[in-house]
Structure formats: structure tokens, C-alpha cells
Amino acid sequence: MNHLGLASVFGALALSLAATAGAGVTTIELNGVDSWDLQGDSDNVILAIDLGPATAVTGIGWAVDITPVGFSWYSEATLLFTDSLGGQGVSVTPGAGDDFAGAGIPMSYSSGGIIDLTNAGIPNIRLADG
């Protein structure tokens, strides 16, 4: 169910990377990222971050606060990771299961560290174009 409301996300997302130049962790600040409506809506924030050529995302972690407005639910804020063409990817829904309106009250969500995608049964995200 989507209530076509607004949610703001504050915090950070950590990506564990494997690339031709070696492995590492990249942290992406999400302060003030807004989600307005359905996936693909022109009002949603899209971040393009160059992680380098032939990169594979091997793990994802987050520590975020989600503040839904109006009738939006905490579970509606979703982060989608793909290459620049929208190919293979994975989505993260930090507030999954919290299917109720937040009325402007922030709630904190954390993955408790970086989740190894392979151990979670999810293939690494291949980003051919970085």
C-alpha cells in the first residue's frame, strides 16, 4: 500500500565494495534525502555516486532516521541501488514492517553493521559503469 506522502531520510549508508583496484567501504551521507511518491517519481532524490569501474557491491549497512509526513508509513521509504542504466540492483527498506503513519515523528533504523550480501543469499551488485 502506498499513501503517496512524503518521507525524509537522515543518516548514512555504508557500502562494502570489491573492485579491480581493491576492496573498501564507502559511506554515503543521506541527510535530507526526500521520497515523495512512487518509485520513479520526478520529485524523489536520485544520487549518482561513482564507485569506480567494474565495482561489485558486496555488502550494505545503514543507520538512518526516517520521518514520514501525513499518512506515509515508515515502511515506504526504500533505497534502490543500480548501475546508471537501472540494471541489476538491490533495494533496502530500513523501516520494513513498520506499516503505520508517523505523523512527522522520526524513527531510527540500523542494520547493525554491514550485511554481507552473499551470506544473505543476495548476489553482489555488479556496477559495470561504476
In this prediction, residue 28 carries a pLDDT of 78
Integer CA distances (angstroms), 3 to 7, 60, 71, 124, in order = 11, 27, 6, 32
In this prediction, residue 16 carries a pLDDT of 63
Euclidean distance between CA atoms 88 and 113, whole angstroms: 23
5 has pLDDT over 70:
no
In this prediction, residue 22 carries a pLDDT of 59
1 has pLDDT over 50:
no
Q: Is 114 helix (H, G, I), strand (E, B) or coil?
A: coil
Least confident range from 46-55, 68-77, 88-97: namely 46-55
pTM value is 0.76
